[in-house]
Structure 1
Amino acid sequence: MSVKSVWQRLILLLRRGGAVAAIMTPMCVATATSLPGVAVKFTGTYMGQSCTIVGAADQSVSLPTISTQSLDSAGRTAGEQAFDIVVQCDPGVREVRAYFESPLVDSQEGTLRLDGSPGEAKQVEVQLANSDFTRIRIGERGTVQPVKVAASGPTSMRFYARYYATGHAGAGTVQTYATYVVDMP
């Protein structure tokens, strides 16, 4: 039945005072049930390979003692200190990275706020950096550079921690922390 003939019948029913709702409801239901369904499909890859931390998984990184003059304005950094996360990966793993997370993240800067210990420094946070000193934003995997896995033996991922000024720094202690997850991108 064509659309034109359906409308002609509806108009005829209206002129005769017929019940349009009774006729339209089955048409609407028929139309609604004949629409194609919508599907959302998910795909992924599960890797049987993994990497294991070599040595102690937990580390303490001691930043050097610096003058507050080194951090005299917002955005300044100073006192870089290297640290390594060493992993041993299964054959077949080509790249690895460690990304960092923390409940103390400054969401605007991607740095680590201090933990609120007594006598802490003012307007100072800790920033992490890749081996080439490019900034890492805590909680953002894409800012951590992947490292090629060694053909044999452990693979070392080098990072830096440094002071980061949010304003003119005030003297005090600096304590914060982050956790990390080893990822195979």
Structure 2
Amino acid sequence: MKIKKEFPSIKVNKEDQTIDVKSESNVGKKESKGKVGSEDMQNYFEQLNEIKKRVVHLQKIVRRFLKHVHVTEFRWKSVIGINDAALTGIICGSAWAIKGSCIALLDQNLKLKIRPEIEVIPSFFHAESKTNLTCILSFRMGHAMGAAIRLLTYWRGSKRTLVNKPQPLESKS
């Protein structure tokens, strides 16, 4: 089963300090729109911290699962620029450093089957910021099910549900 998720449009609203996300999915050819604000992100991180507190050996479980995740395609192209050429150079150098660190993290935790393609294109004459990330991950469902069973096994407490169940980004309007 293949699931493809595209985020063709992410726009920042300066008025209400939110991010408008328009996403498309090949599962049922759904298109959804939503807003993500600072409160949503804060709730999401609180729920992650709750999971982190409740599951014993969470890092071991996640790392064990990630050892079985294969990266079969990874392309990351960015166009970055502001009107000042010197600052554009500094920003592009920083982007290279960040991308290199991300690739090193991927290489440490996942199985890279191919050499990642990364590119940073400076735009010296226009103020612009574009990025395109294509990544294909594959894993066996048995490994995912094993990780889920381990999560449930090592869950502290009698209740195995969160106080506030996380809402997917697609369902918010």
TM bucket by the smaller chain?
Answer: under 0.3
Task: Choose between structure 1 and 2: higher helix proportion.
Answer: 2
Structure exhibiting the larger radius of gyration computed from Cα positions: 1
TM-score (norm 1): 0.25
TM-score (norm 2): 0.26
